[in-house]
Structure 1
């Protein structure tokens, strides 16, 4: 979902921002916020779920403006959940810089997290004309379904043949760079930022829980940038006071569900494998493609 632009819902209408979410009821906004919060941080693609859930429940599509702005919910959840970790890492990094301890593992990890953000920024700028295009084929359900199936296969390979059980204290600058490159592929709708980074972490020999934690922290800079861009866009679009209130309600529900999603995923991965997500993503991908072919969904 990162860096996906706010798309025009009706080509040629002259509107550059889809603000259809302002017409949703409060219950619908809260429900969609919960869906966004959970699926944004689990490795199952929030883009896919925000496309198909409203259709299945005969709800109005909230539009990409809503789903893009909802990324700020995951930012809030990650900051709250990992506040102590972030505080410790930042403090140790600052002390390493002031003490000129350039061999500090915390300093290298922090540099890795920052450098790991560059690939998705560069790729986002390059792919912006394609992803922003009205009715871009990159955002079709066929693409999302195919991406889901491919990521299911890659996660299966990573789970089956992963080597090593590296903990968070053993991570380095290069881990940030490699996982950051994987994160850039999340620009393709359906790949899932959490899914691509979790998979990359497993390939690099991280513990499952460590890979998920690293994925969440690595996503912070990118989510801050993407969320800021979307909020600025909504300001420029002249979103009304009632529209901001509706968005706030969605953000609150999404933040709570995102926090629970982090807790649930980390707790689950401490004792279990990722095979449940492999199966879920494969079935979802097949469902989306078959649904489009049979006319259940509009691509």
Structure 2
């Protein structure tokens, strides 16, 4: 990988990971558009760890409070503070964990095959973009993330499992599900970002295990640069997305998805 390749992929990951436009789809598309060699799962892992570091750093105070209240709820055997939200994050992670284990080989092989990947990303970019727009346009905005119940967490968690399909967008589908449940835009986004933490940790653990078993040479310099760049860009994106989401709504991202989908359709056919 050249330096330009590393920088562009890292910045792309940082921008797209927490916006509802699919980071995995963009990481798969860039090599196809530029005729670069696929960067591989190892580099994808490095930039995902970078965005994980960004979301942990941004929500560090919230995470300390959630962990404290969750432990207190275990001791008291009753809700304490934000323990309901902590339980919701844990429960919402279960469906994608199970789906990831069940379909791991398909995701890492068949769905990364160039033409299959582009066709899949085209369909999901358009389809889930329309769904995001409909949910944001018609759903009421009345609930905060403190009102999330177990069944809500499972619903959003099942939606998150769909994001294993390239182009769906993990943040996009979880925000769509949150808006369908009546969460405010900022609440749906915040819950989506918190859900990203355990999911990324689990995915990173599995990928690291695979890399260790393969015994392949690791270009540590590229991985480190990619991780640091993606972390910095992602931190800025989280801040401004949460700051402006109630004002902007989801329509700019819906429009982007539809335009990108139309470009991909023209490219394919």
**What is the TM-score of this pair, normalised by structure 1?**
0.83
d(CA) in 1 for partners of 2:102, 2:146: 34
Pair 1:37-2:18 in alignment: no
- Name the SS for the 1:197 alignment partner: helix
Pair 1:124-2:100 in alignment: yes
d(CA) in 1 for partners of 2:80, 2:152: 15
Q: Is the 8 A contact 2:125 2:168 kept in 1?
A: yes
What are the within-5 Å matches in structure 2 for residues 105-254 of structure 1? 106-134=82-110, 139-240=116-217, 243-254=219-230
Q: CA deviation at 1:135?
A: 6.4
Q: Deviations over 1:110-162 (max 9, x none)?
A: 22211111111111222224223356669521111101111111111101110
Q: Is the 8 A contact 2:85 2:148 kept in 1?
A: yes
Q: Is the 8 A contact 1:69 1:231 kept in 2?
A: no
Q: CA deviation at 1:107?
A: 2.4
d(CA) in 1 for partners of 2:231, 2:86: 25
Q: CA deviation at 1:192?
A: 0.7
| Corresponding residue for residue 66 of structure 1 | 43
Q: Which of 36, 58, 61 is the equivalent residue of 1:84?
A: 61
User: More deviation in 167-176 or 83-92?
Assistant: 167-176
Q: Is the 8 A contact 2:10 2:227 kept in 1?
A: yes
| Corresponding residue for residue 8 of structure 1 | none
- Name the SS for the 1:30 alignment partner: helix
Q: Is the 8 A contact 1:109 1:171 kept in 2?
A: yes
Q: Is the 8 A contact 2:9 2:27 kept in 1?
A: yes
Q: CA deviation at 1:109?
A: 2.1
- Name the SS for the 2:163 alignment partner: helix
Q: Is the 8 A contact 2:65 2:82 kept in 1?
A: no
| Corresponding residue for residue 75 of structure 2 | 98
**What is the TM-score of this pair, normalised by structure 2?**
0.91
- Name the SS for the 1:246 alignment partner: helix
Q: Is the 8 A contact 1:69 1:230 kept in 2?
A: no
d(CA) in 1 for partners of 2:130, 2:246: 22
Count the aligned residue pairs: 268
Instruction: Mark the structure with the bigger radius of gyration.
Output: 1
| Corresponding residue for residue 29 of structure 2 | 52
- Name the SS for the 1:290 alignment partner: helix
Unpaired segments ≥5 residues, structure 2: none
Q: Is the 8 A contact 1:74 1:258 kept in 2?
A: yes
User: More deviation in 255-264 or 52-61?
Assistant: 52-61
Q: CA deviation at 1:197?
A: 0.3
- Alpha-carbon RMSD across the aligned residues, in angstroms, is 2.0
Q: CA deviation at 1:269?
A: 0.3
Q: CA deviation at 1:98?
A: 1.9
